[in-house]
Chains A and B, each alone.
Chain A
Amino acid sequence: MPDSVEKEIVSIISEVSGVAEEEIKTEMNFFDDLEIDSIKAIEITVAIEKKFKISVRDEDVPNITTVKHAVELVNTLLEQKAANAKA
């Protein structure tokens, strides 16, 4: 599952940023390397929230600067969602 999360996120980033999937590396910085501006940042966030049916919280936002951070955050939110569903 985590692998496919990364794949989906990379695909969304590629779609929004115009950078080919193959060229997107997990250590890349959204703003410096991928030239994500405010509009694209929202597009990515909204698309990720919709795709994984999660909600990114305000306190998470400052921590997302690289692709890796985004993947980790989505994984965490998915785990929390699964735990909540069980509880």
Chain B
Amino acid sequence: MPRLNANEYDAVIIGAGIGGLVCGCYLAKAGMKVLIAEQHYKPGGYCTSFTRNGFAFDAAAHSFGGYRNGGIVRKVISELGMTDRLRIIKNDPSETVITPDHRLSYWSDMNMTIDEFQKDFAGEKSNIESFFEVMKSGSPQLFIKMRKLTFRDFLDGCFKNERIKAILAIPLFTYSGLPPSLISFCAGATIFSEFLMDGGYYPVGGMQAFPDAFAEKLREYGGELRLSCRVKKIRTHQRRAVGIVSEKGEFIRAEHVISNADARQTVFSLMGRGSVDSDFRKKIRTMIPSRSYFVAYLGLDDALPHALPGTTVSYFPHYDIEKAYIMGQDAKITSETGYIMRMSGDATTLTAIVAAPFRNKAFWQQHKTAYTDALVSHIEKTSVPGLQKHIQFCESATPHTMWRYTGNYRGAAYGWASIPSQFADIELKKPPCIKNLFLAGHWTTQGIGIPGVVYSGFATAQLIQNVRRRKVL
């Protein structure tokens, strides 16, 4: 292999989200000279943590899944030799769904989960068992068969009771932002198998420990991570990506360019207008992004009774998830608003998350405080009595904040919306019209959340190595 000059790399990755980091580690491990350029001053994308007034918060991602034996996250951590580097604990139950009439948990022992559901829905006993069995063992054949269907199609075939269908759809709304009538069966089944039935894992030290461990590993493999380094352009020559230009105007040559950034930004701002063909531009322009969230970060005194520390709680005051999806576009908290909350394992903080529309900075400057107050008082009324008097610190992030820190289009929480027509499309991993350009992360349509982006980073690295092998042969 010819030696490369200082500003020449085998691969440059735009963005140190988990997808970019995993991809970079695999490429560096394979002996490639890798650079990851990240605009933020810390790695992780949506998987970062921060400290304010002595309280430690996870910014967005607050636990992860896919860590069972054979799970994608465990596989990658072990293949990259990082098992000893991260101490990972598991919260059990990983997830609890609360409505006015039900309280159902996802336990690591699936039979306990099935028991709880069967107690509440005696008329659906055998259907509950077969539902969880299918979620656990979803085969490639089943996925192909169901590829054009939504999760609602599947739920309608499984159950008669509308309420159990809604309760099973609540965590899908939590983890995709979509109602059952829109989320693809495949994305929904993945949320069950990777987040709910194998979720609740947490790195000791906070979510930031996760990207930090990958960043450290990248450097050990000889890779380079430049923080606070915003990429301005992907330079192309004759329909081939040849490198990037940093905001400071520095050109960095690369044989492969991998964008872990938003797909829209990649195509419309990073690529020159003439370098992407109009069909692909049109495709990206007409694809639907996922929605965003508003997050309240609350620092607590130690007198608040510990309500399920470590477990992600989804609270829904009603059973109409379709309506909740539509209401999520009003920047309003009402008695009908569903929310997600997680108290840290040590019970010092509580993070509350609620669907919210993208609005500009001025809008949120005006409404952020009232919005946060309304959310806190709604939580106090519905699930954590006395919450307000235990809050010692309060900060919040709007969809605009999400966009500002990560560059995700309008603060989209999960890349593209996981509707059937936007699932597992290979053109989003490797745009057809431009050579040596790849994507990694949740904008590739291969999956969402941490298991999804770990998978994507791994799959893109695998694809690049294959392309290189072909060139050598």
Residues of A bordering B, CB below 8 Å: 12, 14-16, 18-22, 30-31, 36-43, 45-47, 56, 58, 61-62, 64
Contacts and interface: CB of A to CB of B under 8 A. Distances in A.
A40 B423 CA distance: 11
Given A18-B462, A20-B473, A45 B147 contact: yes
B144 to A, nearest CB: 5
Interface in B171-192: 186, 190
Secondary structure at the A interface, as helix, strand, loop or mixed, is: helix
A61 B145 contact: yes
B470 A18 contact: no
Contacts, number: 69
Interface string B419-463: 000011110001000000000000000110000000100010011
A64 B143 CA distance: 13
B462 A30 contact: no
A15 B473 CA distance: 16
Given A30-B140, A42-B147, A46-B147, A21 B470 contact: yes
10 contacts: A18-B459, A18-B466, A20-B466, A39-B446, A40-B459, A41-B141, A43-B426, A45-B144, A46-B424, A61-B144
Interface in B116-161: 138-145, 147
Contacts of B142: 38
A32 to B, nearest CB: 12
Contacts of A30: 140
Contacts of A37: 140
B473 A47 contact: no
Contacts of A43: 424-426, 446
B3 interface: no
Smallest CB-CB A-B distances: 8 pairs? A41-B140, A18-B462, A42-B424, A38-B143, A18-B466, A43-B424, A38-B140, A43-B426
A61 B388 CA distance: 55
B473 A16 contact: no
A47 B447 CA distance: 17
Contacts of B459: 18, 39-40
Contact of B425 (A12, A15, A31, A46): A46
Contact of B466 (A19, A40, A42, A61): A19
Contact of A42 (B144, B455, B470, B473): B144
A21 B470 CA distance: 8
A15 B456 CA distance: 14
Nearest to B140: A41
A61 B147 CA distance: 11
B469 interface: yes
B469 A20 contact: yes
Given A41-B144, A45-B147, A62-B141, A18 B426 contact: no
A46 B455 CA distance: 19
Q: Interface centre among B424, B425, B473, by most A CB within 10 Å? A: B424
A12 B462 CA distance: 14
Contacts of B465: 18
Contacts of B473: 20, 22
